[in-house]
Amino acid sequence: MKAVILIFSEIKMSLNRDALIAVFLLLICAVMFVASMNLPAAMFGQMSPALWPRIILVPLTLLSALLLIKSQRMPIEPLAHSSEPTSGWWEQNKIPIICFALFFLFLSTMPVAGMLLGGLLYVFLTLCVLGGWERRKLLLHAAISLVFVVGMWAIFTQLLGVLLPEGELLRVY
Amino acid sequence: MGLFENLATAAPELFTIKTMILMMIGTMAGLVAGAIPGFTIAMAVVLVLPFTFSMSPVEGLATMIAVYVGGLSGGLMSGILTGIPGTPSSVATTFDGYPMARSGKPGLALGIGVWSSFFGGVIASVVLMVVAPQLALIGLEFQPVDYFSLILFALTVTASMAGDQILKGLIAALLGLLISTVGSDVVFGLPRFTFGVDAAAQGFAFLPVLVGLFAFSRLLGDVRTSEKAHQRLGGDEAHAVHIDYLGSAREVLRRWGNVVRSSLIGVFVGVLPAAGSTISNILAYDQAKKTSKESDKFGKGAIDGIIAPESANNATAGGALIVMMALGLPGDIMTAIMLGALLIHDVIPSPSFITDEPQIAYSIFLAFFVANFMMLFMQSFTLRAFVHVTKVKMYMLTAVILFYCSVGIFSLNNVTYDMWTLFIFGIIGFVIRALGFPIVPMVLGVVLGGIAEARLSQVFARSDDVLVFISRPWSLFFLLLGCFSLLFPYYQKHMKTAPWARFFVPALLIVQSVPVFMMPGVVRPSVALIMVVTGGVMLAYRLKYRNAAPANE
């Protein structure tokens, strides 16, 4: 155990952002290489389905390794050694993450709520998350959601003839 | 058929009341979108795309071109009136446009910008109509191997545009190519990299990927903090003014040399993959300053300082269209979206596109020409709309557009799978952007990946000999050019300090002359000879004065 700790302390690999990206990319390359082994070999004198991905993976692996080496020559970012790295990160990315979560909810509930109801709820909630929950704003956000979502739904279904998902709640047949 | 016969055939297709109305709406939408800081032209073209699905190819493409042209010109409104460029293509316009507006001549500054945009666009349309068919003739010589090398070159150039971040640019391009391999393989149609998810066998349609990576991630990046989310789109400074059309036209025509030079710079930059109007407007401004007799007035409201960037950025659109129309390859996000629109209508752009589909091709040429006239006349009306739109808060626009993107993407194939693709690539785009990777190489990687694989499979179907990549002149030409483009960021960084940088251009000329010399005929080997002689003379001169500082040459 002591030997392992000694090796790691000797390596002193600085875990800055680029190093983590490079390691992640190398992992992706490894997974894809292994997956490409399961693809069929070349047939009828044609190119194998695995050839093109491998042509991409070879330089990608090399460049990822280069990024890892380059990252070790960079000064260590304060982020890597901060005592509270997660709180700052969360504050910086809170709004986009909530928006993505709302979009995920919108897509997950699509079979039930459909594009119209789901869209109304999604736009309203996104507006409130981004703009605030005060009573006056709630009315404004509700009006914006209603006008734009119903408007767009009408344009796409009535004008352009697109069959948008109705959802089980509004299904008439 | 000649140019005019083809134009006459295409004209009835384009000049219908419906298409003209669509183009006018498109121009207006583009002008307003371009004027809003942070709202890119590509975003506007993406938003228009779903509406084009139910249109004919000519109507759809004409509308998108109108948005594109409008967007390029719209940026000048906010740039001149508020000092904040509406789009990156109008950055240089603010250098002199804003000081002129502040000195009490906003109408003149706007007029100069509008006329310069107009002339830039018209010059580019003429070049487009003349050059694209000729370039397509050269494109007909291309074998699959040449195409494959051209795609590699396009990707290396795109990555090299990331400058110091070229490593990340290359990784992004390769990741884009890797994404395009998910789904069915091009040759046998067998599922590939699906990891047990049946739906993934259909792969990722490139428009949801493109919108996710580009628009979705950007919008959420714009509302990252509560303060940013509550910002008004154009600040509070915008106000409507009367555009001085006559006075500004006189000023612009008096400086026609600057107009023509800047427009040609714009077209040239547009032809290069990924080097769009963001670069051309700065480059043209720099050239105008260097050649002007009144260079000391630049930055204080110089007329030439408004003419140059505005002529160049509109002309860039013409250059980008040349490559897309002649070779069927998109060079930037805008042409990638247009390529997507063409594919939706079962029109596959290739070197034979202009000869096979002259009506559509020449309608596109004409639409680009006409859109510039529309832009000229609609600028005044749009100015008022722009002043109102700038009062809207960023978060309202974001919420509505995110929903709109999902509806638009669903209507592409009427499957929710595409919306999931949009969501996943929205996250990937957001993360990639936050980690400092450029998005454009990745997007082009996704778009070009399928084409590259198809071409490579054709190469291997013909022969197993990999030497064909260097024995075919065009292929060798693009591969060598790709190598130089990878070195270009280092050259750019060290051109005034490192001794080796002085030999970059002569080496480029001499090395590139080899494939040109291998080409058939008399003209091209003669060009190769000129390249060798020029490169040789430059090399000899620089060797003789090797001790002189590069900057003093």
Give the model confidence (pLDDT) of B124-155 as tens digits: 999 988 888 888 888 888 888 998 998 898 88
d(CA B401, CA B178): 29
Residues 422-461 of B with CB under 8 A from A: 423, 426-427, 430, 434-435, 452-453, 456-457, 460-461
- Any idea which of B8-12, B50-54, B212-216, B342-346 has the lowest mean pLDDT? B342-346
In this complex, which of B399, B435, B461 lies closest to A123 when CB atoms are compared? B399
Q: Which of B48, B218, B220 to mutate to test the interface with A (most CBs of A within 10 A)?
A: B220
Q: Verify whether the Cβ–Cβ distance A103 to B402 is below 8 Å.
A: yes
**Residue B275: per-residue pLDDT:** 64
What is residue A9's predicted lDDT score, i.e. its pLDDT? Answer: 47
Closest CA to B150 of B163, B161, B139, B159: B139
Angstrom distance (rounded) from CA B253 to CA B243: 17
Q: Tell me the pLDDT tens digit for each residue of A138-158.
A: 999 999 999 999 998 998 888
The confidence band for B187, taking pLDDT boundaries of 50, 70 and 90, is: confident
Using the structure block, give the residue that is written with the tokens 């070159």.
B153
Query: Tens digit of pLDDT for each residue in A109-125?
Result: 999 999 999 999 999 99
d(CA B441, CA B397): 27
The CA distance from B49 to B47, in Å, is 6
Span B73-112, pLDDT tens digits: 887 887 787 777 777 778 888 889 888 888 888 889 889 9
pLDDT at B13 (0 to 100) = 87
The pLDDT tens digits for B193-212 are: 988 888 888 888 878 888 88
* Percent of all residues in chain B with a pLDDT value above 70, rounded to a whole number: 95
pLDDT of residue B240: 62
Q: What is the band of A85 on the pLDDT scale with cuts at 50, 70, 90?
A: low
For the residues B326-337, what does the mean pLDDT come to?
Answer: 80
Residue A167 has pLDDT above 80, yes or no: yes
Contact yes or no for A148 and B403 at CB 8 A: yes
pTM: 0.81
- B9-23, B221-235, B283-297, B457-471: the lowest-pLDDT one: B221-235
Contact A49/B190, CB-based, under 8 Å? yes
What average pLDDT score do residues B345-364 get? 82
Local structure of B393: helix, strand or coil? strand
A43-51 CB contacts, 8 Å cutoff, 24+ apart: A43/B188, A45/B461, A46/B187, A46/B188, A46/B457, A46/B460, A46/B461, A47/B187, A47/B456, A47/B457, A47/B460, A47/B461, A49/B185, A49/B187, A49/B188, A49/B190, A49/B192, A51/B456, A51/B460
- Whose structure tokens read 């990745």? B442
Residues of chain B contacting A149 with CB distance shorter than 8 Å = 403
DSSP reduced 3-state for B183: strand
Collapse the DSSP code of B191 into the 3-class scheme (helix H, G, I; strand E, B; otherwise coil) and give the result: strand
Convert the pLDDT of each residue in B493-523 to its tens digit: 888 788 888 889 999 999 999 999 999 889 9
Q: Nearest 5 degrees, angle CA B193-CA B195-CA B200?
A: 70
Q: Is B221 on the interface with A (CB under 8 A)?
A: yes
What is the band of B471 on the pLDDT scale with cuts at 50, 70, 90?
A: very high
With a cut of 70, say whether residue B370 has pLDDT above it: yes
**Token pair of A11 as six digits:** 């390596």
Looking at residue B379, its pLDDT comes to 80
pLDDT tier at B405, thresholds 50, 70, 90: confident
Of A32, A39, A130, the CB nearest to B223: A130
Q: Encode pLDDT of A48-75 as tens digits.
A: 889 999 999 999 999 999 999 998 876 6
What is the pLDDT of chain B when averaged over all its residues?
85
pLDDT of residue B37: 67
> Predicted confidence band at A10 (pLDDT cuts at 50, 70, 90)?
very low
What pLDDT is stored for residue B553 in this prediction?
Answer: 47
CB distance B402–A25 less than 8 Å?
A: no
Predicted confidence at residue A126, as pLDDT, reads 93
- Within 10 Å of residue B257's Cβ, how many Cβ atoms? 12
- Whether the pLDDT of residue B346 is over 90: the answer is no
pLDDT score for A106: 95
Q: pLDDT digit string (tens) for B6-53?
A: 888 889 989 999 999 999 999 988 888 877 766 677 778 888 888 888
State the smallest CA–CA distance between residue B102 and chain A in angstroms. Answer: 33
Region A88-106 average pLDDT = 88
For residue A108, pLDDT beyond 50? yes
Taking the CA atoms of B311, B313, B318 and B322 in sequence, report the sign of the dihedral they define.
positive
Per-residue pLDDT of B256-305, as tens digits, reads 999 999 999 888 888 876 666 777 888 888 888 888 888 888 888 899 99
Find chain B residues with C-beta within 8 A of A51's C-beta: 456, 460
Q: What is the pLDDT of residue A15?
A: 59
B326 CA: distance to closest CA in chain A (Å):
26
Cβ-count burial B302-312 (b if 16+ within 10 Å, e if not): bbbbbbbbbbb
Are B195 and B377 in contact by the 8 Å Cβ rule? The answer is no
Q: Which residues of A touch B170 (CB under 8 A)?
A: 59, 63
Residue A16, pLDDT > 60, answer yes
Q: How far apart are CA B179 and CA B203, in angstroms?
A: 9
Q: Residue A125 and residue B209: Cα distance in Å, rounded?
A: 25
The whole-number average pLDDT for the span B432-437 is: 88
Q: In this structure, are residues B284 and B67 in contact, taking their beta carbons and an 8 Å threshold?
A: no
Query: Is a pLDDT exceeding 60 seen at residue B214?
Result: yes
Predicted pLDDT of residue A87: 65
pLDDT of residue A8: 47
Instruction: Give the model confidence (pLDDT) of A19-59 as tens digits.
Output: 999 999 999 999 999 999 988 877 777 788 899 999 999 99
